[in-house]
């Protein structure tokens, strides 16, 4: 792990409401190879601005973005970013499970469709659940369905040796199939909230699940709340960097 050339940088840890009412960017992280961003994971409310702020030395968004599902806190900034980057000559590529991709193209992109087709806006590789697809830098991605109020998929990234390097649940309540799948990876990121919730796991439910190199996102807590009240839990905070 120490000589890994991959790391992620946390962009936000909140949900839709915390993005708007508390100024916390939605749950998202950037993947980097040798310090250079190459893929964004989710692009919800507030995340686009966070990318511009945290990576001022890069003049454009990375070409690749993974979208777990069509909720505003995971894809709300997507229409604007795809449109601006396309106009600047950086046509992005959206990695999402097939049905999620269809929903993004049909509903999330609707605001652009009188002027541009979805194919003009971005590339949309067709990816079946559980199918292994090349992402970038020798990594492949496989999606696995979560259990959530909107169709949502977690994923695992594997290296060229087939080693699972990074797993993310996306939004989901506790689901043993999804969790077993994610936990193949050396570094695992779980969606969870402080209080029990029908569509998200809670901190209490994750207590016995979390192993070394497991982290929690989607909690909507500020960095000072995390430091003062939840230091015993591996809650991610914005700007945190993790090697995978
Ligand atoms: Zn959601």
The domains of the chain are located at 6-243
C-alpha 115 to ligand 1 mean position (Å): 29
- Topology (CATH) of 6-243: Metallo-beta-lactamase; Chain A (3.60.15)
Instruction: Give the mean pLDDT of 143-151.
Output: 97
C-alpha 149 to ligand 1 mean position (Å): 7
C-alpha 157 to ligand 1 mean position (Å): 21
C-alpha 128 to ligand 1 mean position (Å): 20
Q: Is the pLDDT of residue 3 over 90?
A: no
Predicted pLDDT at 72? 97
What phi and psi values does residue 69 have, to the nearest 5 degrees?
-170, 170
C-alpha 173 to ligand 1 mean position (Å): 10
CA 213, chain centre distance (Å): 17
Rg (CA), the chain: 17
Predicted pLDDT at 33? 97
C-alpha 232 to ligand 1 mean position (Å): 25
Give the pair of three-digit tokens for residue 196.
């029990």
Predicted pLDDT at 16? 87
C-alpha 160 to ligand 1 mean position (Å): 31
Predicted pLDDT at 220? 94
Contacts of 120 (CB under 8 A, 6+ apart): 86
CA 9, 55, 45, 101 dihedral sign is negative
C-alpha 31 to ligand 1 mean position (Å): 21
C-alpha 234 to ligand 1 mean position (Å): 21
The model's pLDDT over 11-42, given as tens digits with 9 standing for 90+, comes to 999 988 889 999 999 999 999 999 999 999 99
C-alpha 101 to ligand 1 mean position (Å): 15
C-alpha 110 to ligand 1 mean position (Å): 19
C-alpha 154 to ligand 1 mean position (Å): 11
How high is the mean pLDDT of the chain? 96
C-alpha 37 to ligand 1 mean position (Å): 24
C-alpha 3 to ligand 1 mean position (Å): 34
Confidence of residue 196 (pLDDT cuts 50, 70, 90): confident
Q: Is the pLDDT of residue 233 over 70?
A: yes
C-alpha 137 to ligand 1 mean position (Å): 28
The model's pLDDT over 65-111, given as tens digits with 9 standing for 90+, comes to 999 999 999 999 999 999 999 999 999 999 999 999 999 999 999 99
C-alpha 114 to ligand 1 mean position (Å): 27
């Amino acid at each position: 792990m120490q000589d890994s050339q991959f790391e992620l940088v946390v962009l936000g840890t909140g949900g839709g409401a915390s993005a708007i009412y508390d100024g916390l960017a939605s749950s998202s992280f950037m993947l980097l190879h040798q310090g250079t961003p190459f893929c964004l994971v989710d692009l919800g409310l507030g995340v686009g601005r966070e990318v511009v702020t945290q990576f001022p030395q890069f003049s454009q968004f990375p070409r690749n973005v993974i979208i777990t599902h069509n909720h505003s806190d995971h894809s709300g900034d997507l229409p604007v970013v795809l449109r601006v980057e396309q106009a600047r000559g950086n046509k992005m590529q959206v990695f999402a499970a097939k049905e999620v991709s269809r929903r993004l193209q049909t509903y999330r992109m609707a605001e652009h469709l009188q002027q541009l087709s979805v194919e003009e806006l971005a590339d949309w590789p067709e990816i079946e659940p559980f199918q292994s697809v090349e992402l970038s830098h020798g990594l492949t991605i496989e999606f696995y369905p979560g259990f959530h109020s909107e169709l949502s998929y977690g994923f695992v990234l594997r290296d060229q040796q087939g080693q699972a390097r990074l797993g993310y649940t996306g939004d989901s309540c506790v689901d043993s199939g999804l969790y077993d799948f994610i936990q193949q990876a050396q570094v695992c990121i779980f969606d969870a909230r402080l209080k029990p919730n029908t569509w998200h796991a809670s901190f209490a439910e994750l207590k016995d699940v979390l192993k070394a190199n497991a982290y929690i996102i989607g909690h909507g807590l500020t960095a000072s709340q995390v430091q003062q009240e939840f230091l015993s839990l591996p809650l991610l905070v914005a700007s945190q960097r993790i090697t995978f």
